[in-house]
Amino acid sequence: MLTFTLRRLLLAIPTLLFISLIIFLLVDLAPGSPMSEIPLTVPPEVRQKMIEALGADQPVFVRYILWLRQFFWVEPATLMDGWFGSHLAGDEQRILSWQSRSPVFTVIGQRIPQTLTVIGTAYLVGIMIAMPIGIYSAYRQYSAFDQLGTLVAMIGFSVPTFFTGTLFIIIFAVWLGWFPTKYDTTLEVTDWASFILQLKQMAMPVMVLGLANAAAISRYMRSSMLENMGQDYVRTARAKGMTERVVVLKHVLRNSLIPVVTVIALGIPSIFGGAIITENLFGVNGIGAALIGAIHANDLPMVQTLAFIFAVLIVLFNLIADVLYGLLDPRIRYE
Amino acid sequence: MKLKSALLGAACAFAMAPAAFAERGTDGEVKLTFPQAVSIMNPYLSSGTKDIYASSMVIEPLAGYDDAGTLIPKLVSEIPSFENGGISEDLTTITWKLLPGLMWADGSALTAADVVFTGQYCMDPAGGCAQLSKFDGIASIEAVDDLSVKITFTAPKPNPFNAFVGSTSPILQKAQFEACLGAAAPTCTDQNSMPIGTGPFKVTAFTVNDTVSMEANANYRDPAKPAFASAVIKGGGDAEGSARAVMETGEFDYAWNTQIPPDSQAAMAAAGKGQFVVAFGTLVERLEMNMTDPSADLPEGERSTAKHPHPFLTDINVRTALSMAIDRQILTEVGYGAGGAPTCNVVPAPAMYASDNTACLTQDIEGAKALLESSGWVDSDGDGIREKDGKKLSILYQSTVNPIRQDFQALIKDWWSEIGVETELKAIDPSVFFGGDAGSPDTFQKFYADVEMYANNFDGTDPEAYLTQYKCDKAPSPENQWQGENMNRFCDPAYDAMVSELSGTRDAAKRAELAKKLNDMVTKDSRIVVPLVHRGTLSAHSNALGGVKINAWDTELWNVADWFRVK
């Protein structure tokens, strides 16, 4: 197992380097200019000077090597300096966003908490809704509950979040006036009242995303349960005189969880990736909103760094899912 | 004596009475929302309107514009003029006199050295200053004494009110920005996001592309203002969401740039929680006619250049007919509602520069047909498209990807097909269209199409620089890497001569007359530019917010110090 993990980690290095190059070239070759958002009243000479000040006029490979150096040396060194008070990074330039001229990692640091609380909660809520629905739907296949669950899952799958989001805003914010439409990122939870406010402002984005997540996971849960329900060991368990409760929740559920856990683990990078549409709609200043804002402004360093971090997370969680699989199912051995 | 002082005291008490209502920090928090989030609080490093508006609550220029477009002093005692000796007779210097006793938010004194430093900061060649053009033609900026600053120009400058005028060119504190000159400018993250200013508010917290938190500046020059103790600007989302947060849910007091479809405007206004306000500046949505041949059959480097005149748009009758076929009233209703007005002018405002050119406002399909007929453009082969000398009236009409622009394109295509003109539509991603990449065929400068539609405007209230854009030598071409603003490749020596005359003219009335003539030359006399809609900026404010005076000539938040809570 350990050799397998190490081998996979080593393999990940060239993969990630290659991915970073591809992302950099894709982002760089995409049409558009960091100057496209500034008004037409700014004359071309001034635009040219601004581009030079950003370093955006350098050849693409020079910028790529510089970015690699900043990402793998300057940024970790700055982090170390911050933690241990050392002076590894010196005066070296960190990765600066073209749009805000602030370090990209500072922006990411500001946004991670929002993304984790809102998107992370939505993911948890989604799992908690999906599991019981999936289990019961499978246990009572084709019952009214199963049909209803299927219907809800299909709606969750097929209705895009920008639609459910707007619908929720109109119903819960405009008509009922229960929840705010804009997420207040300056709110600090210090007492019961501010905690309630935080719950209120999280309610709508969490509902929207939770519905979408629950839809997917409940279908996996259901099909995995169904597959196991017909197995011989289930009949054996019943024949031994076990109660239905023990049969379903101990024998079947445990075995059915294996593929579901993989699916859940593989979905975790998407939490960090944020939910571009939902975050934008509700004004949650998470990673997804940062990404879309940077894409609009052709803020190459920001887009590049975020896209690469997602790549790292996806590679990492793929590995974690594989390892988990081996831990959960003793029949699987990586040699 | 006693009676006199008693009376004086009474008079004072009365005079103080209104001030007792207006006291600093009594009205709680004012909440603003911008559909685009604020990235940076330093206008010298960003020319995004969102950033300029947000920073205008904190840092201020020497003078600004009020809602009528008149210059008003902010940090100075008066606007320099010939009469008060502030502007020299030969137009080469301007001297600003700072108000005595001004303090930065940190309690230190504002002096002429700060103004001089700000000039130095923006004019540093390595700094990439976004407002560099405001400092054009400046030879030197010097502090005459602690409270006066003299700007010397390299040549006579009829309009010296560029540098340090308006929210795009505020004064930075020397002590704070001293280490941020030149190449270091972008790396000063803290300074750029929390500048120390003289404005009514000061920044207390800043999250990039999200929220700016501010509190009342304790050292603001008017002790009774601002009425609000704190302010917050939340950014992000879209125009619809911002408008909703003010007009329907009442979560916010003010939303900038709530340009939403006319039917949504009506529905939101009906909720009764707030109102829309429009600032009509100089932004005009227009069609630009290409005077050169964009044909793909021509070799690269000769397409859309003066080497090949356009096969049919060079005929003024065709251009006139295309303009006559358009119903600008319908376009305005469909696209902008209250946020727009039909126009025939390239310079639609300020009033003193706006020509009384209104003939294009009525659509005349029959007239357009007759005009084409009489000038020899007839449909001889019965395919519904007019032709002459083997040239068909077939137009490639490009614009950016934008729902309103696509509506406009569809409507105009219909009207043109009615008069026998075939139109092919093209929509280009705005970041490419406006990106100015000389390698892309789809930029508005290259203009590889017959007609293109976009909006343009000018800074401040003087249209001279804007009208200069239609001079012959401003045409983009391969020789100048496709830089330039004369998209039409319009070239008229009489026009160029009149522009030179304008730049040498000092008398305001005469300038206005020349500007109007120049406007007419590119619009109603030649139809090189076919203006469609005079676009305003639609903003929304809640009924609980008082004192809002929308301003198109400077930041919309120009009088935020006067805003108050309606109780």
B434/A contact by beta carbon, under 8 A? yes
B180 at A interface, C-beta within 8 A: no
**Substitution target from B210, B246, B464, B479 for chain A, most A beta carbons within 10 A:** B210
CB-defined contacts A:B, below 8 A: 165
Please report the pLDDT score of residue A52 as a whole number: 78
CB atoms B128 and A99 under 8 Å: no
Average confidence (pLDDT) over A302-318? 89
Average of per-residue pLDDT across A273-281: 82
Query: Which one, of A16, A12, A17, A189, lies nearest residue A117 by Cα?
Result: A189
pLDDT > 80? residue A102: yes
DSSP state of B553: S
Regarding predicted confidence, which is higher, B238 or A136? A136
A282 to chain B: which residues are within 8 Å by CB? Answer: 237
**DSSP for residue B490:** -
Q: Are B431 and A37 inside 8 Å of each other by CB?
A: yes
Cβ contact A53–B248 (<8 Å): no
For the segment B31-52, the average pLDDT, to the nearest whole number, is 88
Instruction: Check B436 against A281: CB less than 8 A apart.
Output: no
Over chain B, what is the mean pLDDT? 89
B270-312: pLDDT as tens digits = 988 999 999 898 999 999 999 999 998 998 888 999 999 999 9
Nearest-angstrom CA–CA distance, A301 and A322 = 32
Interface with A, mutate which of B31, B39, B169, B454 (most A CBs under 10 A): B39
pLDDT of B473 above 80:
yes
Q: What pLDDT does A18 receive?
A: 92
Say yes or no to pLDDT of A256 above 80: yes
> Residue B395's closest CA among B313, B296, B316?
B313
* Mean pLDDT of all residues in B343-353: 91
The whole-model pTM stands at 0.82
**Residue A39, pLDDT score:** 67
The reported pLDDT for the residue numbered A34 is: 73
Contact A280 B237 (CB under 8 A): yes
Reduced 3-state DSSP string for B177-235 = HHHHCHHHHHHCHHHHHCCCCCCCEEEEEEECCCEEEEEECCCCCCCCCCCCCEEEEEE
List, for residues A148-171, the tens digit of each pLDDT value: 989 988 888 888 888 988 899 989
Q: What is the mean pLDDT of residues A97-124?
A: 86
Q: Is the pLDDT of residue A111 over 70?
A: yes
| Minimal Cβ distance to B430: which of A36, A106, A169 | A36
Q: Given pLDDT bands bounded at 50, 70 and 90, which one contains residue B4?
A: low
Helix (H, G, I), strand (E, B) or coil at B525: coil
Residues of A in contact with B268 (CB under 8 A): none
- B20 pLDDT exceeds 50? no
Concatenating the DSSP letter of every residue in A295-317 gives: HHTT-HHHHHHHHHHHHHHHHHH
Least confident of A110-114, B137-141, B503-507: B503-507
pLDDT digits (tens, 9 = 90+) for B313-341: 999 999 999 999 999 999 999 999 888 99
More confident residue, B414 or B483: B414
State whether B234 and A283 contact (CB < 8 Å).
yes
B245: nearest CA partner in chain A: A181
As a whole number of angstroms, the distance between CA B535 and CA B332 comes to 9
Helix (H, G, I), strand (E, B) or coil at B392: strand
Q: Looking at the predicted structure, is the pLDDT value of residue A91 above 80?
A: no
Percentage of chain A surpassing pLDDT 70?
96
pLDDT more than 70, % of chain B? 96
> B241: which chain A residues are within 8 Å (Cβ-Cβ)?
169, 181-182, 281, 283
pLDDT at B376 over 50: yes
Find the CB nearest B186 among A53, A106, A281: A53
pLDDT of residue A36: 66
Do the Cβ atoms of B234 and A43 come within 8 Å? no
CB contact under 8 A, A35 and B132: no
Name the more confident of A38 and A25.
Answer: A25
Evaluate if residue A37 carries a pLDDT over 70. no
Confidence of residue A78 (pLDDT cuts 50, 70, 90): confident
Cα–Cα nearest to A258, from A316, A331, A150: A331
* Residue B139 C-alpha, separation from nearest chain A C-alpha, in angstroms: 18
Q: Identify the pLDDT of residue B10.
A: 47
Q: Which of A107, A181, A282 sits opposite B249 (nearest CB)?
A: A181
Percent over 90 (pLDDT), chain B: 62
Strands B254-255 and B545-546: unpaired
Of A33, A99, A101, the CB nearest to B437: A33
Q: What is the mean pLDDT of residues B424-447?
A: 85
pLDDT: is B95 or A55 the higher one?
Answer: B95
A242 pLDDT higher than 80? yes
Among A46, A101, A298, the residue with its CB nearest the CB of B186 is A101
Contact A293 B37 (CB under 8 A): yes
Q: Quick one: closest CA in B to A99, which residue?
A: B39
Q: Could you tell me the sign of the dihedral formed by the alpha carbons of A144, A148, A153, A154, in that order?
A: positive
Nearest CB among B241, B434, B459 relative to A41 is that of B459
B401 touches chain A (CB under 8 A): no
3-state secondary structure of A55: coil
How far apart CA A126 and CA A187 sit, in angstroms, is 25
- A255-259, B323-327, B513-517, B547-551: the lowest-pLDDT one: A255-259
pLDDT-based confidence at B459, cuts 50/70/90?
A: confident
pLDDT in tens, B134-153: 898 899 999 999 999 999 99
Choice among A223-237, B274-288, B433-447, B507-521 with the minimum mean pLDDT? B433-447
**One-letter amino acid of B146:** D
Kindly report, residue by residue over A126-137, the tens digit of the pLDDT. Answer: 999 999 999 999
Predicted confidence (pLDDT) at residue A309 exceeds the cutoff of 60: yes
Averaged pLDDT for residues B81-104 = 92
pLDDT at B427: 94
The arithmetic mean of pLDDT across residues B502-519, rounded, is: 89
Instruction: Examine the pLDDT at B460 and tell me if it is beyond 80.
Output: no
> If pLDDT is split at 50, 70 and 90, which confidence band does A288 have?
confident
Q: Quick check: B40 and A37 CB within 8 A? A: no
* CB atoms A33 and B431 under 8 Å: yes
Cβ–Cβ under 8 Å, residues B112 and B101: no
- Strand pairing partners for B231? B30, B214
- Assigned CATH class of B281-461+527-535: alpha beta
pLDDT at A56: 77
Q: How far is B22 from chain A (nearest CA, A)?
A: 28
Q: Tell me, what DSSP letter sits at residue B132?
A: G
Question: Using a CB-CB distance cutoff of 8 angstroms, which residues of chain A are in contact with residue B457?
Answer: 39-41
Question: How high is the pLDDT of residue B22?
Answer: 64
Report residue B235 as tokens.
């950014």
Instruction: Residue window 347-386, chain B: list those with CB within 8 Å of chain A.
Output: none
Q: Helix, strand, coil: what percent of chain A each, to 5?
A: 75, 0, 25
User: Can you give the pLDDT at residue A27?
Assistant: 83
Q: Do A182 and B248 touch (CB under 8 A)?
A: no
Q: Is B179 on the interface with A (CB under 8 A)?
A: no
Look up residue A184 and give its two tokens: 């207040």
Alpha-carbon dihedral of residues A294, A295, A299, A302, nearest 10 degrees? 60
Q: What is the pLDDT of residues B391-435, one digit of tens each?
A: 999 999 999 988 899 999 999 999 999 999 999 999 998 878 887
Could you tell me the residue ranges of all domains in chain B? Answer: 281-461+527-535
